[in-house]
Amino acid sequence: GQTALTNFDPLEVIGSGSFGLIRKVRRKTDGKVLARKEIDYRKMSDREKRQLVAEVNILRELRHPHIVRYYERYVDRDNCLIYIIMEYCEGGDLSSVIKRCRKESRTIPEPVVWSLVTQLLLALCECHHPPPKRSGTPRAVVLHRDIKPDNVFLDAEQNIKLGDFGLSRVMDDPDTQFARTYVGTPFYMSPELVNEAQYNTKSDIWSLGCLVYEMCALEPPFQAKSQSGLAAKIKLGKIPEIPKCYSNELRNAIKSMLQVNHAKRPTAVELLKLDRIQICLAQRD
Ligand code: ADP
Ligand code: MG
């Protein structure tokens, strides 16, 4: 209601989303700085509105140190806006880190790459392999569907926070089962999506493979001037070399995630078993 609207002082705009602005806000009660995403629902169909409600419901259930924390939502009916209050990630997003490195001709050090991958895998595990709830039935499997550098945020301590679940789907929701149309970034689109098959957890793994590749090479693995050219390269799955400074272990991890046959790609749980990732996990505590 109106009270929720006046609970926050608006600060500067930090990004512009596909549906509206993302702004820094200060909670009046305790001065805590948060991020507020505003979504204009004026042009949305009833189906889209239901989808939006479903997405917000997914978000509020995902509580994980490497997933952007959702706090609350409120509706401003006068202006047809839905506000989503979430954790503010002051480190920006991974796309600016990659851009900066490319500009300065620097590579991301391999231990940093492994640490970022580990954190992303922990976040994906939470989505793909929901932990059993004390109350009984486990939460549904969540597919992110839009893993890319702009949707991976960093906090003040360089911790990764997977965010922008705007395109994510609950896998067993019959209403969205057939929502096959890919709306994300085509660069990271998986071969099964190119072939208009069902999106699945392994499609997120493919996108993660593209992301890890890009952290090393500072450019996406598959690039083309046209959509059809890109689709052809994705279906072929020929991965260009990453810089020589990176280990074969990293090279092989990327290759395993970028297998054209999705059944052959490892799960997030399997990837967490890699030696280098186990070392990262051991260093965490
Ligand atoms: P969209 O659905 O339009 O892609 P995003 O949620 O990805 O919207 O937000 C767009 C941009 O806004 C991000 O790339 C990021 O730079 C910034 N942003 C979004 N959420 C946050 C947040 N919680 N903390 C800091 N920056 C954010
Ligand atoms: Mg985004």
| Residue 190 pLDDT level (bands cut at 50, 70, 90) | very high
User: pLDDT per residue over 45-55, tens digit each?
Assistant: 888 888 788 77
**37 vs 171 pLDDT, higher one:** 37
User: pLDDT per residue over 39-82, tens digit each?
Assistant: 888 888 888 888 788 778 888 889 999 999 999 988 889 999 98
Q: How far is the CA of 245 from the centre of ligand 2 (A)?
A: 30
Average pLDDT over residues 106-128: 97
Give the mean pLDDT of the chain. Answer: 89
Q: Is the pLDDT of residue 172 over 80?
A: no
The pLDDT of residue 180 is 42
Residue owning the nearest CA to atom 25 of ligand 1: 89
User: pLDDT per residue over 134-163, tens digit each?
Assistant: 777 777 888 898 899 999 999 988 899 999
Q: Of the listed 30, 40, 146, 204, which one is catalytic?
A: 146
Q: Which ligand is nearest to the CA of 11?
A: 1
Residue 146 among the catalytic residues: yes
Q: Which ligand is nearest to the CA of 95?
A: 1
Q: Is the pLDDT of residue 87 over 90?
A: yes
ipTM exceeding the 0.90 mark: yes
Q: How does DSSP assign the chain, residue by residue?
A: -HHHHTTEEEEEEEEE-SSSEEEEEEETTT--EEEEEEEE-TT--HHHHHHHHHHHHHHHH---TTBPPEEEEEEEGGGTEEEEEEE--TT-BHHHHHHHHHHTT-PPPHHHHHHHHHHHHHHHHHHHSPPPBTTBSPPPPEE----SGGGEEE-TTS-EEE---TT-EETT-TTTTT-----S-GGG--HHHHTT----HHHHHHHHHHHHHHHHHSS-SS--SSHHHHHHHHHHTPPPPPPTTS-HHHHHHHHHHT-SSGGGSPPHHHHTTSHHHHHHHHHH-
Q: Minimum mean pLDDT among 102-106, 142-146, 206-210: which range?
A: 142-146
Q: How far is the CA of 111 from the centre of ligand 2 (A)?
A: 26
Q: How far is the CA of 15 from the centre of ligand 1 (A)?
A: 6
Average pLDDT over residues 169-188: 55
| Residue 165 pLDDT level (bands cut at 50, 70, 90) | confident
Q: Is the pLDDT of residue 107 over 80?
A: yes
Pocket test for ligand 1, best of 19, 22, 100, 159 (most atoms within 8 A of CB): 22
The pLDDT of residue 185 is 54
The pLDDT of residue 1 is 47
